[in-house]
Amino acid sequence: MQVRRESFYPREDILADIGKVIESRDADYVTFVGDGEPTLCRDLGWLIHRCKARWDVPVAVITNGSLLYKDDVSDNLLESDVVLPTLDAGSEAVFKGINRPHPEISFDLMLDGQIDFREKFDGQIWEEVMLVDGLNDSQEVLESIKEALDAVGPDRTYVNVPIRPPAETWVKVPAPEKIFRAQEILGGAWDISDYEEGGFGVSEFEDAREAILELGARHPLREEQARSIERSLSEEGIVDSMISDGTLVRVDYRERGYLLPSSFRMGD
């Protein structure tokens, strides 16, 4: 956990990796997500600028929004077409409970950063509200989130839930009626609480084992997704072998089986 920005990898290498993918297939967006918080990357502004200059593809950034109060961070994102911040709380207590921020970041600081960014950003802002049962799905909390959202003025708001195994095993998904109520309170928010569909682009990977480990480290895979990757790369028995040798660990969540790399750590 940190708020200090760094150059984690050579920026030219990152740009080259983007090029390998985007030049081999059609793309809707170049999306910066990161294995962590992408705005911690000190080179993000340079990368966005180079992507916009090199390819005729819009750029999106998915961020927790906590660092937008920093001028260098918000300035880095100004060339983006879409920024997707998170706004899961409407008060300091709920912010700490669900987001567990760095000690230097308060709810007011985070929210003011998003409001200031909205004022100078010409692109689209799509807010995402992650609902967790018992933490931020009550009428009172949802109304406070709506007040915060109104202060930012996003172009869209999405309601999400912990679809994949979360960092803490006690995290639960709210009942469907609570999700529907949240959509209403938040002003007709879009519901993206169902399981995602479609395949992963895996052509850049050398083999199924590499693809499953790389994708699974960032995006816990349902078992059927891992086996689909295996089939798409014309390999057999890789998933079973990885389970057998302990490279993958099977975790049941919401009555579905997920395969996580053994290095992935669940909370207690």
* Residue owning tokens 């050398």: 206
Chain-wide mean pLDDT for the chain? 92
Residue 264 has pLDDT above 70, yes or no: no
What letter does residue 111 receive in the DSSP assignment? H
In 3D space, the residue among 205, 259, 225, 265 whose CA is nearest the CA of residue 21 turns out to be: 205
Residue 267 has pLDDT above 50, yes or no: no
* Residue owning tokens 């480990």: 213
Residue 217 has pLDDT above 90, yes or no: no
Rounded distance between C-alpha atoms, residue 233 and residue 85, angstroms: 34
pLDDT of residue 268: 35
| Span 212-220, average pLDDT | 85
| Span 78-90, average pLDDT | 98
Calculate the alpha carbon distances from 147 to 90, 104, 111, 112, 139 in Å.
Answer: 7, 23, 11, 13, 12
Rounded distance between C-alpha atoms, residue 234 and residue 6, angstroms: 39
Residue 199 has pLDDT above 60, yes or no: yes
Rounded distance between C-alpha atoms, residue 35 and residue 61, angstroms: 13
Which of 106-110, 201-205, 232-236 ranks highest by mean pLDDT? 106-110
Q: Band the pLDDT of 1: cuts 50, 70, 90.
A: confident
What domains lie within the chain, and their CATH numbers?
Answer: 11-191 (3.20.20.70), 208-261 (1.10.10)
* Residue owning tokens 């912990």: 162
